[in-house]
Amino acid sequence: MQAIDLYNKLHSVQNGTVLCQYSMETCEKLVGLINEINDLKKERDAAILAHSYVAPEIILGVADYNGDSYQLSKNAMETPAQTIIFAAVEFMGETAKILNPDKRVLIPGANPGCSLASSITGEQVKDLRNKYKKHTFVCYINTTADVKAACDVCVTSSNVLKIVSNIPNDKIVFLPDKLMGENLKNELEKMGIKKELVLHTGTCYVHEQYDPDLIKYFRIQNEGLRIASHPECSPGVAMLSDFVGSTSQMLDYIRNLPENTPVLLLTECGLSARLQSELPARRFIGSCNMCKYMKSNSLENILQTLKEPEKAKEIKLNTDVLAAAKRCIDNMFKYAE
């Protein structure tokens, strides 16, 4: 790759602030690392999977696959490469390992945590099961393998409504995302579906920061504004949005808007960055929150992982957890039909 190729992909990306714009000079510095990574991954039989929230130079420079956590886990099954370098956060690497137990999954991020995934442990779920014996336990995919192993059914942001509607039990414990749970309650109510939903207290610290008052301000400032938000945002934000959906659903919504429509995308700003590059005719405005865990992935730590894989963080799960967590994910397919 030449620096100019990288610049052509990145020059329209603002990452929410002019401080994060890519100059030709920046691209000249990045391209050496990118080429070294791309050569080494072939030698090492490795594929790089990058979540939409990591830095644009990873997505557009070295990633073999890009998408949300569930899409990437499926990509991990497709790739013939035996080593997966998962540029995202740890729980996503665990999901990839659950679906690909024979592959080696390495995590390059320096701080691969998540405020949602760390809000509850498998042991806490087991305690809750003693309290709510008649309930079906539904967990969001943004949970650790231990939590999935202790739950009945896993969901993603795109299928949560369908799956909870399809579960025959009307008593559900939904965890860990409190805000997604409140949005789910509202949607079920609108559809006339009666379910008793017990919620946990977890939140995504990136999405919960969006404030309904800020949205009203953006509407006043931008005529014809279209707002798309993720269901990890609060119900107040969801109510003021034109569209609420998962990463892939928001992408489809925005791709179908007329050119020059001003768009406010309320999710981690890596997604706006990707769309600024893919859809230069849309006008992305305003607000941008970054996830410090996702942004702890860098070209440097991906290169280091390729150079010294034995020193990298490798996902290892015991066989019982792996089997129970797989059952929880398999149940998602069953109820999604």
Please tell me the number of Cα atoms within 13 Å of 206 on its side-chain side: 25
Min separation Cβ 131 and ligand SF4, Å? 26
| DSSP 3-state of 59 | helix
296 is a contact residue toward ligand SF4 (CB under 6 A): no
Residue 116 engages ligand SF4 in binding (rule: CB under 6 A): yes
184, 167 contact by CB (below 8 A): no
**52 in Cβ contact with 274 (< 8 Å):** yes
Between residues 89 and 215, which has the closer beta carbon with respect to ligand SF4? 89
Looking at beta carbons only, is 209 or 304 nearer to ligand SF4? Answer: 209
Q: Which CB sits closer to ligand SF4, 41 or 230? A: 230
Extract the runs of DSSP E, i.e. beta strands, from 170-240: 171-175, 196-199, 226-229
Q: Which parts of 238-277 interact with ligand SF4 (CB under 6 A)?
A: 268
**Binding ligand SF4 by CB under 6 A: which of 172, 294, 312, 329?**
294
Among 75, 83, 115, 157, which residue sits at the site for ligand SF4 (rule: CB under 6 A)? 115
Q: Is 149 one of the binding residues for ligand SF4 (CB under 6 A)?
A: no
Closest CB 188 distance from ligand SF4, rounded Å:
22
Integer CA distances (angstroms), 43 to 46, 300, 307, in order: 8, 18, 10
Establish if 68 lies at the interface with ligand SF4 (CB under 6 A).
Answer: no
Residue 54 has, within 13 A of its CA and on its CB side, a CA count of 33
**Closest C-alpha to 16, from 288, 295, 290:** 288
In the bound state with ligand SF4, the residue whose beta carbon lies nearer, of 81 and 141, is 141
Residue 332's nearest CA partner among 173, 185, 138, 100 is 138
The answer to whether 179 contacts ligand SF4 (rule: CB under 6 A) is: no
Surface-to-core class of residue 2, CB atoms within 10 Å of its CB (0-12 exposed, 13-18 middle, 19+ buried)? exposed
Partner residues linked to 315 by β-bridges: none
> Which stretch in 111-119, 257-265, 278-286, 318-326 sits in contact with ligand SF4 by CB under 6 A?
111-119
Contacts of 133 (CB under 8 A, 6+ apart): none
Size of site (CB under 6 A) for ligand SF4: 13
Told to check if 89 binds ligand SF4 by CB under 6 A, we report: yes
Q: Is 205 in the site for ligand SF4 (CB under 6 A)?
A: yes
Q: Which stretch binds ligand SF4 (CB under 6 A): 19-27, 41-49, 288-296, 323-331?
A: 288-296
Nearer to ligand SF4, 136 or 144 (CB): 144
Is 87 near ligand SF4 (CB under 6 A)? no
CB–CB of 109/83 below 8 Å? no
Please pick, from the candidates 72, 139, 206, 227, the single residue that binds ligand SF4 as defined by CB under 6 A.
206
* Pairing between β-strand 171-175 and β-strand 196-199 as defined by DSSP bridges: parallel
Whichever of 267 and 277 has its CB closer to ligand SF4, that residue is 267
HSE-CB for 263 with a 13 A CA cutoff:
29
* 143 lies in the binding site for ligand SF4 (CB under 6 A): no
Query: Is residue 175 near ligand SF4 by the rule CB under 6 A?
Result: no
Return the DSSP state at 207: G
Q: How many helices (H) and strands (E) does the chain have?
A: 15, 13
Can residue 291 be called a binding residue for ligand SF4 (CB under 6 A)?
Answer: yes
Q: Which residues bind ligand SF4 (CB under 6 A)?
A: 53, 89, 114-116, 142, 204-206, 268, 291, 293-294
